[in-house]
Amino acid sequence: MKTDRVPILIAALVLAGMLASCQKAYHEETEKYIFVASNINLPYWQEAQAGFNDSGHGLGVKVEFTGPASYSPEEQLEAFRQAVAAKPAGILVAPARPDLFNQDIDAAVQAGIPVICMDSDAPESKRILFIGTDNVHAGMESGRRMAEMLKGKGEIVLITIPGQLNLEQRRQGVEEVFKKSLGLKITKVIDDKGDPRVANDAISKMLETKAQIDGILCLEASGGAGAAEAAHRLNMDGKIPIVAMDKSPDTLDWISRGSISATVAQKSYTMAFYGLRFLDDLHHNIVHEFKDWKTAPVSPLPANVDTGTAIVDQSNLAAFQAAVAERSKPL
């Protein structure tokens, strides 16, 4: 007797669907991850927010992006404490000053909340891992580009935020390169506090007083645009090499206009995207080397994840500007 297989197949599919609907969802409806940035108004962190949001959308989890509206380690620490109090499934944080955060990070991990540091590390804390740039290498890339443009000789103005660990590591990289070019010297250090207006004012004053500046090297995201604006206002576009950091729209625009020579671009989108994936893996104990990450003698995940850097100049500018424009489109 010939059997009609179609009704049997349909019944099997319906039964499979019913069984699947009875299983517990992988992600709970209340599952939420929080990202605590150091300055939410900077394009660098807005790019990171886009990566965090995209990753959360792909996983089907709730996400929250928070932090101070200007550079303020104390306000960021308070935002971190509020995040811990909310008892999320995990926290991604970029501690502006690790010494302030160590104790609170340890307390969060002790309470069972996985904490991952992104962009800037707190290596003395119990954070699970660090994902971001090898900052010594990033500094070396900056120093090499400046050394090439000045042919190994000149007085350099450094724009940074003294005391911030990742920026101190970049300075270390710059100085390692400059040791090999004895004609290159850092003669002035400007603390722009993460504000392009501060960099603008400081560089403007130096240019107006005819101070010796052979090159301007920026170790954080705001200084390049501030220095470029100062040079432009005084009709000095391209006359002093400027090596910036990161790829904010303003920085890319100044490259296109010839005021910034190059920038060392980090991958903040990538850091945040995979930072959330790592948090999700920890929360669900996906890596089964040990029974539970909370009681494991060592983290089952990599200790450090280097997301790399890229040099952006006029030769490859168009590709980076296209990527920025694409991210600006609504989902």
Residue 155's nearest CA partner among 211, 236, 212 is 212
Mean pLDDT value of segment 209-232: 96
Report pLDDT for 21: 43
- The answer to whether residue 23 scores a pLDDT higher than 50 is no
Q: What are the C-alpha distances in Å from 252 to residues 66, 258, 264?
A: 26, 10, 11
Model confidence over 224-241: pLDDT tens digits?
A: 999 999 999 999 999 999
Strands (E), 119-221: 129-132, 153-160, 183-191, 215-218
Percent of the chain with pLDDT over 90: 78
Q: Across the beta sheet with 62-66, what order do the strands follow?
A: 62-66, 32-36, 90-93, 115-118, 129-132, 304-306
Number of residues that make up the chain? 331
Report pLDDT for 246: 93
Report pLDDT for 299: 87
- The answer to whether residue 22 scores a pLDDT higher than 50 is no
At 60, is the pLDDT very low, low, confident or very high (cuts 50, 70, 90)? very high
Sign of CA dihedral 175, 309, 156, 203: negative
The model's pTM: 0.80
Mean pLDDT value of segment 121-138: 95
Domain pair 32-133+267-300 / 135-265, same fold = yes
Domain 32-133+267-300 falls in which CATH fold? Rossmann fold (3.40.50)
For 135-265, CATH number out of 3.90.70.10, 3.40.50.2300, 3.30.559.10, 3.30.70.20 equals 3.40.50.2300
Mean pLDDT value of segment 233-251: 94
- The answer to whether residue 65 scores a pLDDT higher than 60 is yes
At 28, is the pLDDT very low, low, confident or very high (cuts 50, 70, 90)? confident
Measured distance CA(19)–CA(30) in Å, rounded: 23
Q: Domain map of the chain by residue range?
A: 32-133+267-300, 135-265
- The answer to whether residue 117 scores a pLDDT higher than 50 is yes
At 326, is the pLDDT very low, low, confident or very high (cuts 50, 70, 90)? confident
At 8, is the pLDDT very low, low, confident or very high (cuts 50, 70, 90)? low
